[in-house]
Amino acid sequence: MAKDFYDILGVPRTASQEEIKKAYYKLAHQHHPHKGGDEAKMKEVNEAYSVLGNEQKRKQYDQFGHAYEQAGRGGFGGYQDFSGFSQQFGGNGQSFSFDFGDLGDVFGDIFGGGRTRTKTRRQAKGQDVETAVKLKFTEAVFGVEKSVTITKDFLCEHCSGSGAEPGSKVETCKTCKGTGQVVRQVGFGIGFSALCDDCGGAGQKADKQCTQCHGRGSERKNETFTVKIPAGIDDAQTIRIPGKGSAGAKGAPAGDLYVRISVEPDSRFKREGVTVHTVAEISIAQAVLGDKIDIETVDGDVKLKIPEGTPSGKQFRIAGRGIPHLQGRGRGDHVVEVRIKIPTRLTKRQRELFKQLGEETFE
């Protein structure tokens, strides 16, 4: 027979939520496995409090007893494993990510979730850095190498990124007790794991900070290097270069560099994906009789055959003369739209010739 949750917490059925909370905290400190307590008993206490500590669940428990799970569709068992699930929230133009894997760790540590975890130190990754590069149209088509200068954090040469003055004594951080993490409470009975502010997640702290970087482990400097822009890059696209961002805190991995691409427009060409579009004007005679004309492409001039009787607006496709497929093989096409140029000023002879043509009947 299942034990009564009120008996487990040692409170009467008339107990207030505050009394239930106090009873739970007392038992949690008493039976927590990290303090040498009984893990099985801690599970019972956790399960009892997960129900009685919630007014809605408590009402269902009072009404249905241990059948409350079926009544509530199984919505309130004991420890829930949130590992591997994350969600992003936002509002008022801001956004932040919340990793429920960390939340699961905290619940397991605080509420005795029946899982054994090894504490790991996680140091803050360096900040990402962003810069912008402007390209000409043809540079974006064929790719190019560009020199960029960015300002970022580098490992301090004086302390090799440790943040400690060389020769100083390094001790276990008293705030996080060497774990590199602390638990921050965000609400009633809910907390999340965060990096320790005192040691930056290192788990250790020097008695004397580096006189060069003042304990940061890094120094802010400029760096100039060459970025290879791939052929086929388009306006507003971004290139990510891993590890080229700021150095991490006290030896942690560096952040990434994001290069935002801006492509200058070209009056000769219009781009749509991997296709280049241009417009070519032809005379009435060329449209009627046909001809071969020069078309300017990104590779230079090519000859385009205009068949007899070509109407204005007709499009011709020149295969393989467009934009290279980004990180792929082959190229797009060059599409030419021909437009018949209607003369606005005619000589007397030209006018007579057009009148004669107008009197002719054409099929």
With b for 16 or more beta-carbon neighbours within 10 A and e for fewer, the 36-54 pattern comes to ebeeebbbbbbbbbbbbbb
> What are the beta bridge partners of residue 218?
155
- Provide the mean pLDDT of the chain: 80
Q: State how far the Cα of 45 lies from the Cα of 113, in Å rounded to an integer.
A: 11
- What CATH number belongs to 270-359? 2.60.260.20
Query: Residues of CATH 1.10.287.110 domain(s) within the chain?
Result: 5-80+99-111
- Asked if 284 and 344 count as a contact pair (C-beta separation under 8 A), the reply is no
Residue (of 98, 13, 131) closest to 61 by Cα position: 13
Q: State how far the Cα of 29 lies from the Cα of 48, in Å rounded to an integer.
A: 15
User: Above 60 in pLDDT, residue 78?
Assistant: no
| Alpha-helical segments (H) within 1-54 | 5-9, 17-31, 39-52
Q: pLDDT class for 85, splitting at 50, 70, 90?
A: very low
Query: Residues of CATH 2.60.260.20 domain(s) within the chain?
Result: 270-359
What is the helix (H) or strand (E) element at residue 224, kind and residue range?
strand 218-229
Amino acid letter, 346: L
Above pLDDT 70, what percent of the chain?
78
3-state helix, strand, coil split of the chain in percent (to 5) is 25, 30, 45
Q: Please tell me the predicted confidence (pLDDT) of residue 107.
A: 41
Structure confidence by residue, pLDDT tens digits, 8-51: 999 998 889 889 888 888 887 777 665 566 777 888 888 888 88
Residue 33, φ and ψ in degrees, nearest 5:
-60, -30
169: Cβ contacts below 8 Å, ≥ 6 apart: 206, 207, 208
With b for 16 or more beta-carbon neighbours within 10 A and e for fewer, the 88-113 pattern comes to eeeeeeeeeeebbebbbbbbbbbbbb
Q: pLDDT class for 96, splitting at 50, 70, 90?
A: very low
Tell me which of 3.20.20.70, 1.10.10.10, 3.40.50.300, 2.10.230.10 is the CATH number of domain 129-263: 2.10.230.10
Dihedral (C-alpha) 48, 49, 53, 54: value to the nearest 10 degrees?
A: -60
How large is the greatest C-alpha to C-alpha distance in the chain, in angstroms? 114
Query: Residues of CATH 2.10.230.10 domain(s) within the chain?
Result: 129-263
Dihedral (C-alpha) 65, 66, 72, 75: value to the nearest 10 degrees?
A: 140
Half-sphere exposure of 52 (CA within 13 A, CB side): 29
Instruction: Name which of 127-141, 198-212, 233-247, 293-307 the model is least confident about.
Output: 198-212
- Asked if 71 and 62 count as a contact pair (C-beta separation under 8 A), the reply is no
CATH architecture label of 5-80+99-111: Orthogonal Bundle (1.10)
Residue (of 324, 323, 330) closest to 270 by Cα position: 323
Q: Give me 169's structure tokens.
A: 């004594």
| Alpha-helical segments (H) within 234-347 | 284-289
Structure confidence by residue, pLDDT tens digits, 115-158: 333 344 455 688 999 999 999 999 999 999 999 999 999 999 89
pTM of the model: 0.58
Q: State how far the Cα of 213 lies from the Cα of 162, in Å rounded to an integer.
A: 10
